[in-house]
Each structure stands twice: as C-alpha cells, then as structure tokens.
Amino acid sequence: MTVLEHLAAMSPERFLAIYSGLEIQGFGPLDKEVALALRFRPQAVKKLPMAQRAKRARLILEAGKSTELAYEVFGAYLIRHRKELVTGFLDATGVEHQDGMIEDIEKSKPDPTRLGAAVQALDGQFPPEDVTLYLALAAEQWPGVTQLADLVRERTR
C-alpha cells in the first residue's frame, strides 16, 4: 500500500487529527495550498475551521496525486508526535540515523530479518495506526526492502 493509498483509506477524523497536530501559529501544513485553491489570501484561510481546511488539504493531496507532499505531511506528524516510534524502528532494524534523520537512504536500509521483532515491539508501545503509517512511509522510502510493503499489506487487510 502506497502513501497515497494509505491516505485514501484513512478516515476523515484521523486525517484531521494529523493535520491539526501539525498546526503552527494557527496555520495547518498545507494552508498555503488551501488558500490558493480557494482563492483566499493566506492570512484569511485561518478564519476557516480546521476541519474545513483539513478536508480541502486532503482533496489537494488526492487530486494532485502528490506522494511527496503526503509523505512530508505524514513524516512531519510522525517526527513531531511519534519520534520515539521512528527512532525505535531505525534502531531496532539497524539503520544509522541522527535523531531520526537518515543521511544516506540508499546505504542505510532496514535489516529485513529484524523487521518482525521491531514491529512487534513498536505495536506494544504505540497506536497500531501510527506504526502502520510509519511502515507505509518506510515502504516508499525503501522500495527494495519488499518485506516492508508486505507488512503494510498484511496490516491493512
């Protein structure tokens, strides 16, 4: 399941929680794009309820098939609110990182033999929907590690 497929399957409430969780000084992560789509001035979009802005942001992501933008939104959510999940996965699978940031994606890949134990440990510590979201991002990040895509598919049946 790709990040966009994960987005399509996500409930509106879950997307709103993620979107709202990324608010900075009253702005959501895609409010600039929302303002452009609605032909609002960027400052005026703040007057709209967050639920309305999140709904429009989701439409922008889905209509534009913007994998990169969806990846950025979900990645920002996980780093801001579930950093221990990200670093826990990376540590448990042997990926070199600096506080969750990976310098060389190609050189640092998760060890497929350690995935099962890593995911089991993360499921015991974090909401399964956040673990699955992270796995979907990881599957996009490391398409050569096919076990990641298999894990996401298993979890989203």
**Which two tokens mark 16?**
């709103």
**Which uninterrupted H or E stretch holds 25?**
none
Q: What is the pTM of this model?
A: 0.90
Measured CA to CA, the distance from residue 146 to residue 157 in angstroms comes to 17
Tell me the average pLDDT across 115-133: 96
Indicate the domain borders of the chain: 3-66, 82-155
Question: Tokens representing 52?
Answer: 């309305």
Backbone φ and ψ for 37, nearest 5 degrees, come out as: -65, -35
pLDDT tens-digit map of 6-24: 899 999 999 999 999 999 9
The per-residue pLDDT for range 21-73, each reduced to its tens digit, is 999 999 999 999 999 999 999 889 999 999 999 999 999 999 877 888 999 99
